[in-house]
Amino acid sequence: MEDQQQKILLVEDEKNLAFNLELNLKAEGFEVYTAGDGELALEHYHNQGPFSAIILDVMIPEIDGFEVAKTIRKKDNTTGILMLTARAGDEDRVKGLSIGADDYLTKPFLLEELVLRVKRMAERAKMYRELPNSQTRPTLINAGPFELDKANLTLKSPQGTFELTVLEADVLEEFLSNPEQTLSRKHLLNKVWGLPGNIETRTVDNFILRIRRFLEADPANPKYLCSIRGKGYRLNLEDKPDESTQE
């Protein structure tokens, strides 16, 4: 069980980069399966899984990284996906995160940052896979019209019932446990992603856009999960004078 949870699927077609990443991940105690194209990545995923985390390059031969992420997300909500790419445009970042990637790192990157992110993903996957048997953590979290089931990774909201990825569930848990409180991007990055606050925070913004689809009737004009300019985000459950400002 322990071995299975420490497996990493590395999808990278640049052989030098793949070699270095594999070496470092192995040194961190992970079992690494490397694929140089999208087809092999899905083959490894089906035959060698479950994986604790997937490091996925976008521009890979055969099937591109976005398609690979989409295919995996259709049946797997617990494996963390970190998009690792040379494409730095915001459009790609939003696309990657909206199809189910949990994190996005642009090349070149710091080794320490990558290892930190992957470790956090692996921990999260391990925790969720063990959650149904755990007696210590509450699995149902209610706040206002929302009910988050962490064991089954679902959210009931006025918009319907949604299946969540583990990171989506973690982000929602943070908001549902702290309603009416403004949570800064750094706080979210630290508490949910497990990363120090000096790392860029655009991932958080892109991720909030994804979360809003589950909560809001009109995600472009959020009623519940609002941006507080210069401060962060707040989950509004009561109707009170609107202090929030959309960004």
Partner 1 sequence: MKASHHQKLNKFYSILRWMVHPVVVFVTLQIIWLAITLMWVFWFLESFQEIAKIAEIVGSSYLDNQYALIILIVGCILLGMLLVGTVMLFVTSQKQSHLMSQHKSFLSSVTHELRSPLASLQLTFETMKTRQIDGDTRNKMLEMAMEDIERLTRLVDQILVSSRLDRGLRGFSEEAEHLCLGEFIKTTALRAQWLDPDIEKRLEIICPQELEIHVPIPVMRLIISNLVENAIKYSPKGNPIKILVTLKEGMITIAVKDDGFGLSSADKKRIFRMFHRASITQKKAIPGTGLGLFIVKSLAKTLGGHAWAESPGKDKGSTFYLSFPVT
Q: Which residues bind partner 1 (CB under 8 A)?
A: 14-17, 19-21, 23-24, 27, 37, 58-61, 64-65, 86-89, 106-111, 217-218, 220-221
Token representation of residue 37: 């194209």
Phi, psi (deg, nearest 5) at residue 4: -60, -40
Largest Cα–Cα distance of the chain, in whole Å? 56
Phi-psi region of 180 (alpha: psi -120 to 50; beta: other; left: phi over 0): left
Q: Minimum distance between the CB of residue 94 and partner 1, rounded to whole angstroms?
A: 16
53 or 183, CB closer to partner 1? 53
Q: Minimum distance between the CB of residue 123 and partner 1, rounded to whole angstroms?
A: 21
Question: Cis peptide leading into 219, omega within 30 of 0?
Answer: no
138 or 145, CB closer to partner 1? 145
Task: Give residue 135's identity as a one-letter amino acid code.
Answer: Q
Q: Minimum distance between the CB of residue 54 and partner 1, rounded to whole angstroms?
A: 17
30 or 128, CB closer to partner 1? 30
Q: Minimum distance between the CB of residue 154 and partner 1, rounded to whole angstroms?
A: 26
Which helix (DSSP H) or strand (DSSP E) does residue 130 occupy?
A: helix 111-130
Q: Minimum distance between the CB of residue 132 and partner 1, rounded to whole angstroms?
A: 37
88 or 140, CB closer to partner 1? 88
106 or 152, CB closer to partner 1? 106
Question: CA 95, CA 81: separation in Å to the nearest integer?
Answer: 13
Question: CA 151, CA 128: separation in Å to the nearest integer?
Answer: 7
